[in-house]
Amino acid sequence: MGTLTGLFAPERVAVVGATDREGSVGRAILENLRSFDGDVVAVNPSRDEVLGEPCYDDLQGVPDPVDLAVVVVPAKYAIDVVRDAGEAGVTNVVVITAGFGETGGEGANREQELKAVAEEYDLNLVGPNCLGVMNTGVDMNATFGPEMALPGNISFMSQSGAFITAVLDWANDQNIGFKDVVSLGNKAVLDETDFVRSWGDDPDTDVVLGYLESIQDGREFIEAARDTTDDTPVVVVKSGRTDAGAKAASSHTGAIAGSEAAYEAGLEQAGVLRAESVQELFDSARALSGQPLPETDEVAVITNAGGPGVMATDAIGDSSLSLASFTEDTLDRLKAEMPDEANIYNPVDAIGDADIERFETAIDIVLDDPNVAAAVVVSAPTAVLDYGDLAEVVVDRQADHGKPLLTCLMGGERTGAAAETLREAGIPNYFDPARAVDSIDALARYRRIRDTDYEAATEFDVDREAAREVLEQAKVRDDNRLGVEAMELLDAYGIPTPEGAVVDSPAEAVQTAADIDGPVVMKIVSPDILHKSDIGGVKVGVETDDVYDAFEDLITRARNYQPDANILGVQVQEMVDLDEGTETIVGVNRDPQFGPLVLFGLGGIFVEVLEDTTLRVAPVSEPEAREMIDDIQAAPLLRGARGRTPADVDSVVETIQRLSQLVTDFPQILELDINPLVAGPDGVQAVDIRLTVDTEDL
Amino acid sequence: MGTLTGLFAPERVAVVGATDREGSVGRAILENLRSFDGDVVAVNPSRDEVLGEPCYDDLQGVPDPVDLAVVVVPAKYAIDVVRDAGEAGVTNVVVITAGFGETGGEGANREQELKAVAEEYDLNLVGPNCLGVMNTGVDMNATFGPEMALPGNISFMSQSGAFITAVLDWANDQNIGFKDVVSLGNKAVLDETDFVRSWGDDPDTDVVLGYLESIQDGREFIEAARDTTDDTPVVVVKSGRTDAGAKAASSHTGAIAGSEAAYEAGLEQAGVLRAESVQELFDSARALSGQPLPETDEVAVITNAGGPGVMATDAIGDSSLSLASFTEDTLDRLKAEMPDEANIYNPVDAIGDADIERFETAIDIVLDDPNVAAAVVVSAPTAVLDYGDLAEVVVDRQADHGKPLLTCLMGGERTGAAAETLREAGIPNYFDPARAVDSIDALARYRRIRDTDYEAATEFDVDREAAREVLEQAKVRDDNRLGVEAMELLDAYGIPTPEGAVVDSPAEAVQTAADIDGPVVMKIVSPDILHKSDIGGVKVGVETDDVYDAFEDLITRARNYQPDANILGVQVQEMVDLDEGTETIVGVNRDPQFGPLVLFGLGGIFVEVLEDTTLRVAPVSEPEAREMIDDIQAAPLLRGARGRTPADVDSVVETIQRLSQLVTDFPQILELDINPLVAGPDGVQAVDIRLTVDTEDL
């Protein structure tokens, strides 16, 4: 797939299904395209002329090269039209037509066919079932919506066409402009990943916004977003976050909803700023498109009103920001310039009789402070202060100092003109101090994302062949569940396991035990017996002399309990000192969108009762694995809380990475749990394993 | 103190410090009072006439009775003026003048004096250091602010005067009206509790709103709010929530900030809806003042746009509401009336070509459903739908069905007239579906509060005298810390303790041990030795035969470790089976505003590492104590998670209540911890205790 320039900034657009029938989509698009800087060509085999312009039978018949075809024909003709586009050398196609995957059944088949044709001709295809695309650079409104976007530096993609019409109506009123707008529709070919990547390369897009209900390929999206966020922030509402919402989204789009936990991990790893509501989406967008980034997280508040100053301070406490501590020099200057009753510490209260000069002085002194990276000006209306003046001062001071400066000039109508002045300078004005602070927070969070160097996952030296052999046991046995008999899988990937083996005779058991220092643990090994302890299938602290009898006893118990159980033998394993270590769990499962997800948590109640776990999309890099430890609330227990000997956290981090490599190397592993992975002061030991394998794929 | 009618609806108001000097506060108030329905009298000894009206020297000289005196004289004259008011029989006084507690030092003394005078004459005094009061019923604006409130059914108190001016400017623009408005100032006499109580009795106040930075008397506030919320919701922003905010609030008002944890518990127990931001405060107020309460938490969404419908559904998932399940009848009706492509399940998607008739039909069918208690109409702009029509339909349908109906008619300018129609009918319109859903959530939360019957705390039959004797040990010993030697305190209040005693000779130790079944635990008892285990000051599992020697060994170790330690003896105690039970902690400390706070959590890592604890303001009733168990994340461990024998939760609940009674009966107990309180299947045992006593007060 090439660049998307031809899609958003074509020279010639053809509307296939053009018509002058009142109220039709074809006519709406033609009318919307009237202001387009380039040429518009009508295509419709049943007309000679549309709205006074010549109409062609098909794309191959259009004499001049067409860069973009907008398709509004009935669904049954759409495939032929797209093929015609391919034959005519049109590389960009927007299929407005509905009646594809979203209707299920026949529509889904039609969508598969559409996809195949698009692939055959290597088309950049948007849709089907979408509102269209816009680009304000060439004044192109190739949608059937009622509004054209104002020009700006935000590019916006939405999986809901209706949301685009709602947003544009509102944004035009708020003077928020856009560069490109795309309605993603069913995402048969081009999806969020393509647009995130394309806008990352677009110098005219400063902020990427998305309303998404699903992500087609999670891992690819992560890679694309990481590249883009190097210099362009990406803010996304991913809806269907809640169970109810996910069900609604899936019935709306027909897409399979992935798990919210996977989206949460994946979007975080992608460096996407996730907004929870429409308001948060656009508040972030406004700040990111209009303000510079703060160099640190230290924020100052300057106000003429104590109460609202406290509210702003609370909002800072709620955010990832902190309240800046002023330098002595700043305090001296404020003391000299402010009245005695003023508060010169952050939040600065210039008090109720502050006029424009005092406000300006305070803003200047505060923004001069090297400890202050950003500030918010909070003002209540007073008789001695004109909001228009204050807005001009804020705009000037912001430009002068080059630090982000947000405002809450509180009030109603009296804020109107001031808000307009501020808006023109890229400064949104809010009544609620929390919204201004949250806007700075979005800037700071993006600065941290921009500064992140994503490390590649470490490639450990492993024995893939040995691992494959273990997995193939499942095929041989015709059982896709493996247990401790697969411990060698971990050995092959360098994950420490206690000494031991699965044996199938008492003599072998004795021999194995003899090689192990001290008493051993013995467990029956059978995929059919899940709760081994309950049937007496586990013996702890068996001395070498007792191993022979213990073997026979275990086998007997298993046979008595379940005569038809497939018994693979008995595991004889070194005793692991559970008192010295902390039980953890490292696991993997697969998400339809994001692929393998690695889970970490402390064992037992921490996972089962407190649900204190964390997830990452694999492959997991070293810093990501380390973050996983920090994520869990019970992490201090690993680090030596309450007088415990600290566990070797590095070994846990390495185990997470090695497991991530294993499941990345073998997509056949559907689920895997190491439980417990005992983390002690001298390293980790994987005591038990359980996994499910896709045997078809081996 | 009498009723506050004279304060908010006086017949005659005197302005003491009246002046016609331009820009003065005295003049501003006189001008603001021009529209007042009653009489206004000017008082100022240095003038004969103000703004053409006669001016009196003092309040006693005013011929007709004055109901309310507004005081704007310099601080040094304020006390005399208030005394004059008292002498003149003026019972309501608003002190605008600043220079009291908020300045510390001399000002704080002046405030004490003011308070004393107010008490002497039993005055309803507002302030000092405030903006004034308003009442729209009699068109009284007794403030020096620039705006008068519009009439309405919301009464509003604010600890920040500037916030009132900001809110009114904005609210007038938004057409939000008020009944009473009061600027609380320093709250020397009247505080939030008085206003909450007074507005609870006021038939014209439908919603009470507050911006508070502190609460003077937490327990009284809880009682007043519980009474008021029987029929009037109370919504409060308590700022200074975060550490930074609390510091800022305390420097702003000079008030001591209580702990956020206490406010959180106290406001919850009071039945107050706590808003975290200004936006949330007024969104809740609008819904509560304009809409009926939903009978259940089941909400429906009706939309013409899939995406925004999903957003609304996510917001429902985030709230305390749930997505209603329609009856079969509703589904049949929707199926018959909606097009095939529509989604007839909740959220109902009437799809993009829905005209006003289809919307009206859908709203009607959905609101007819007995499973639906409230609904939100979410609409994107389309060519076939006029928002004005939709607003009228919504207003009609809401009135007809009597269920709360909120709207998100999304868009910009095109929503203007529709939003106005909706607003007049008490229906706020938001762009963001989350705000509409959160508004319904506020209604539902208030319904639950209104329906709460607050039980009084149980009065257990206890031995107060015995408890007092134990506490008096601290006085005798001249040490305000008590340890296990105070276990009888718990016995006196019926909290089970293991058998045992503190003894001071080996022979007594043997005698005590002989009366106990099985081996015993022995511990050195000394207020000076905190970490007993570290010095070998604890012996577990001592057989009766070994008790004598153990006693001597413990004493020797203690003496060696700390020769000057005050050793009170040795505790000989029954062994408590820690494996059978779960260690919990029940504790108490005192908050300056809320008094005794009772804490509960599971012991060890759950408290120290996971901070999984919960608090209530004492006295704690039975249902509140039970809720405390549910509050903690680790509660399933008590209830028998992971194959454990369930603990006797009723005994834990009773212990919390008994402890609450103890600390309520004895305000001298400053801090107390029972750690651990072991909760087993057959009840609880308080194994250890530590407390701090105010010996002055005994």
Question: How confident is residue B1, by pLDDT bands cut at 50, 70 and 90?
Answer: very low
The reply to whether residue B239 touches residue A277, judged by beta carbons under 8 angstroms, is: no
Minimum-distance CB partner of B307 among A162, A347, A634: A162
Residue B385: both structure tokens together: 């739908």
For residue A369 the two structure tokens come to 């402070």
The amino acid present at B437, given as its one-letter code, is V
Distance to chain A for B275, nearest Cα, Å = 12
Name the percent of chain A lying above pLDDT 70: 98
Q: Is residue A682 classed as helix, strand or coil in its secondary structure? A: coil
Preferred mutation among B236, B311, B385, B437 to probe A, highest tally of A CBs within 10 A? B311
* pLDDT for the residue A606: 83
For residues B586-590, give the mean pLDDT: 94
Mean model confidence pLDDT for chain A: 93
Mutate one of A252, A310, A384 to test the B interface: name it (highest B CB count within 10 A): A310
Percentage of residues in chain A with pLDDT exceeding 90?
Answer: 82
Q: Are strands B689-693 and B569-574 parallel, antiparallel or unpaired?
A: unpaired
Mind telling me how many Å the CA of B178 is from chain A's nearest CA?
A: 16
Q: What is the nearest CA distance from A262 to chain B, expressed in angstroms?
A: 17
Distance between first and last Cα of chain A: 32
Closest chain B residue to the Cα of A172, Cα to Cα: B412
Among the partner residues A171, A172, A245, nearest to B310 by beta-carbon distance: A245
pLDDT tier, B54 (very low <50, low <70, confident <90, very high otherwise)? very high
A297-338 per-position pLDDT tens digit: 999 999 999 999 999 999 999 999 999 999 999 999 999 999
Residues of B in contact with A158 (CB under 8 A): 307
* Residue spans of alpha helices (H) in A451-482: 464-477
Q: Please state, in angstroms and rounded to a whole number, the distance separating the CA atoms of residues A667 and B333.
A: 48
Contact B308 A166 (CB under 8 A): yes
Residues contacting residue A282 through CB under 8 Å, at least 6 positions apart: A167, A171, A176, A209
Residue A454's SS3 state is: coil
CB count in 10 Å sphere of residue A133? 27
CA-nearest residue to B243 within chain A is A317
> Which of A660, A251, A288 lies closest to A444, judged by CA?
A288
Give dist(CA B490, CA B497) in Å, integer.
7
Structure tokens at A316: 């800072």
Q: Which residue among A252, A307, A381 sits closest to B306, beta carbon to beta carbon? A: A252
Give first-to-last CA distance, chain B, whole Å: 32
Give the least confident one: A136-145, A279-288, A608-617, B523-532. B523-532
Q: Work out the minimum CA distance from A238 to partner chain B, whole angstroms.
A: 9
CA-to-CA distance for B343 and B331, rounded, in angstroms?
A: 10
| Predicted local confidence at residue B534, as pLDDT | 80
Q: Do A276 and B434 touch (CB under 8 A)?
A: yes
- Worst-scoring range by mean pLDDT, A62-66, A288-292, B401-405, B536-540? B536-540
CB contact under 8 A, B172 and A641: no
CA A113/CA A103 separation, integer angstroms = 15
Matching residue, tokens 């300078």: A425
pLDDT digits (tens, 9 = 90+) for A355-399: 999 999 999 999 999 999 999 999 999 988 999 999 999 999 999
**Chain A, nearest residue to B99 by Cα:** A341
- Asked if the Cβ–Cβ distance from B642 to A316 is below 8 Å, we say no
Which class for A490: exposed (0-12), middle (13-18), buried (19 or more C-beta within 10 A)? buried
Q: Do A279 and B162 touch (CB under 8 A)?
A: no
A102-134 tens-digit pLDDT: 888 899 999 999 999 999 999 999 999 999 999
Residues in contact with B448: Cβ distance below 8 Å, sequence separation at least 6, in sequence order:
none
The H or E element that residue A313 is part of is helix A306-318
Cα distance between residue B337 and residue B352, in whole Å: 15
A609/B249 Cβ within 8 A: no
Quick one: which of B135, B11, B462, B252 has its CA closest to A341? Answer: B252
Q: What is the pLDDT of residues B328-381, one digit of tens each?
A: 999 999 999 999 989 999 999 999 999 999 999 999 999 999 999 999 999 999
Closest CB to A347: pick one of B248, B315, B609.
Answer: B248
Which one, of A659, A591, A629, lies nearest residue A262 by Cα? A591
Contact status, residue B285 vs residue B232, Cβ threshold 8 Å? no
Q: Under DSSP, is residue B91 helix (H, G, I), strand (E, B) or coil?
A: coil
Q: What angle in degrees, to the nearest 10, is found between the helix axes of A387-401 and A416-424?
A: 20
Task: Report the pLDDT value the prediction gives residue A256, as an integer from 0 to 100.
Answer: 52
Amino acid in the structure at residue A176: I
Q: Is the pLDDT of residue A273 over 70?
A: yes
A308 contacts in chain B (CB < 8 Å): 160, 162-163, 166
Cross-strand partners of A522? A539, A572
For residue B68, count other CB atoms closer than 10 A to its CB.
Answer: 26
ipTM > 0.85 for the complex: yes
Closest residue in chain B to residue A167, using alpha carbons only:
B411
CB-CB under 8 Å, B307 with A159: yes
CB contact under 8 A, A239 and B311: yes
Q: Identify all chain B residues contacting A531, using CB atoms and an 8 Å cutoff.
A: none
**Is A641 in Cβ contact with B413 (below 8 Å)?**
no
**Kind plus residue range of the DSSP H or E element containing B542:** strand B538-542
- Under 8 Å between Cβ of B180 and B199: yes
Check residue B386 and give its pLDDT.
94
- Residue A575 · residue A513 · CB < 8 Å: no
pLDDT digits (tens, 9 = 90+) for A617-646: 999 999 999 999 999 999 998 998 777 789
Contacts of B434 in chain A (CB under 8 A): 276-279
Chains A, B: CB contacts within 8 A come to: 272
Nearest CA in chain B to A279: B432
Question: Residue B2: what pLDDT?
Answer: 36
Lowest-pLDDT range, A236-250, A645-659, B660-674? Answer: A236-250
Q: Taking every pair of C-alpha atoms in chain A, what is the biggest distance, in angstroms?
A: 101
pLDDT tens profile A462-513: 999 999 999 998 888 878 888 888 899 999 999 999 999 999 999 999 999 9
Q: What six digits make up the tokens of B460?
A: 């257990």
Residue B101 is encoded by which pair of tokens? Answer: 């507690």
Question: How far, in Å, CA of B638 to CA of B577, rounded?
Answer: 15
Question: How many CB atoms lie under 10 A from the CB of residue B116?
Answer: 11
User: What is the structure's pLDDT at A2?
Assistant: 35
Q: Which residues of B touch A173 (CB under 8 A)?
A: 411-413
**By CA distance, what is A281's nearest residue in B?**
B432
Cβ-based contacts of B382 with chain A (< 8 Å): 146, 162, 165
User: Which DSSP letter does residue A425 get?
Assistant: T
Q: Which two tokens stand for residue A53?
A: 């312009």
Query: Could you report the per-residue pLDDT of A600-616, keeping only the tens digit for each?
Result: 999 878 888 888 999 99
Helix (H), strand (E) at residue A303: strand A298-303
Q: How many CB atoms lie within 10 A of CB B457?
A: 16
A383 interaction partners in chain B (CB closer than 8 Å): 23, 28, 146
Note the pLDDT of residue B258: 61
Q: Which of B117, B124, B121, B162 is nearest to B144 (CA)?
A: B162
Q: B58 pLDDT band (50/70/90 cuts)?
A: very high
For residue A248, give the chain B residue with the closest CA: B310
Q: Do A380 and B165 touch (CB under 8 A)?
A: yes
Q: What is the pLDDT of residue B248?
A: 80
With CB atoms and an 8 Å threshold, state whether A306 touches B608: no
Task: Tell me which chain A residues have a C-beta less than 8 angstroms from the C-beta of B413.
Answer: 169, 172-173
Q: Do A166 and B410 touch (CB under 8 A)?
A: yes
Count, residues in chain B: 698
- The kind and range of the H/E element at B573 are strand B569-574
Task: Give the percent of chain B with pLDDT over 70.
Answer: 98
- Report the distance separating Cα B144 and Cα B97, nearest Å: 11
Among the partner-chain residues A304, A317, A609, the one whose CB lies closest to the CB of B245 is A317
**Which residues of chain B lie closer than 8 angstroms to A132, CB-CB?**
none
For residue A255, the model assigns a pLDDT of: 53
> Mind listing the pLDDT tens digit for each residue in B194-252?
999 999 999 999 999 999 999 999 999 999 999 999 999 999 999 988 888 888 877 66
Contact A163 B414 (CB under 8 A): no
List all residues 6 or more positions away from B625 whose beta carbon is below 8 Å from its beta carbon: B616, B653, B654, B656, B657, B660
Give the tens place of pLDDT for each residue, B613-646. 999 999 999 999 999 999 999 999 899 877 778 9
Angle among Cα A396, A401, A404 to the nearest 5 degrees reads: 90
Using one digit for the tens of pLDDT, what is the confidence trace for B87-130?
999 999 999 999 999 888 899 999 999 999 999 999 999 999 99
Is A637 in Cβ contact with B609 (below 8 Å)? yes
Give pLDDT, residue B247.
81
How close, in Å, is residue B185 to chain A by CA atoms? Answer: 11
Tens digits of per-residue pLDDT, A18-43?
999 988 999 999 999 999 999 999 99
Indicate the average pLDDT of chain B.
Answer: 93
- Residue A385 has what pLDDT? 93
CA distance A318 to chain B (A): 7
Q: Are B164 and B154 in contact (CB under 8 A)?
A: no
Q: pTM for the full model?
A: 0.93
Pairing of strands B569-574, B582-591: unpaired
Closest Cβ opposite residue A605 in set B171, B322, B637: B637
Which residues in chain A have Cβ-Cβ distances shorter than 8 Å to B318? Answer: 241-242, 276
Distance from CA of B162 to the nearest CA of A (A): 6
B251–A343 C-beta distance less than 8 A: yes
CB spacing of A239 vs B158 below 8 angstroms: no
Nearest-CB residue to A641 (from B310, B410, B609): B609
- Considering CB atoms only, which of B247, B352, B612 is closest to A162? B352
Residues A402 and A426 sit within 8 Å (Cβ to Cβ): no
* Cα nearest neighbour of B248 on chain A: A310
Task: For residue B606, give the chain A residue with the closest CA.
Answer: A634
Q: For residues A640 and A290, is the Cβ–Cβ distance under 8 A?
A: no
Chain A, nearest residue to B167 by Cα: A411
Q: Provide the shortest C-alpha distance from residue A86 to chain B (in Å).
A: 31
**A1 has a pLDDT exceeding 50:** no
What CA–CA distance (Å, rounded) separates B552 from B569?
11
Q: From residue A550, how far is each of A509, A522, A569 by CA, in Å?
A: 9, 8, 12
Q: Cα(A391)–Cα(A377) distance, rounded to whole angstroms?
A: 10
Contact between A29 and A40 (Cβ < 8 Å): no
> Would you place residue A254 in the very low, low, confident or very high pLDDT band (cuts 50, 70, 90)?
low
Residue A101 has pLDDT above 60, yes or no: yes
Structural tokens at position A646: 């600290």
Give the model's confidence band at A532: pLDDT under 50 very low, under 70 low, under 90 confident, else very high: confident
Looking at residue A528, its pLDDT comes to 85
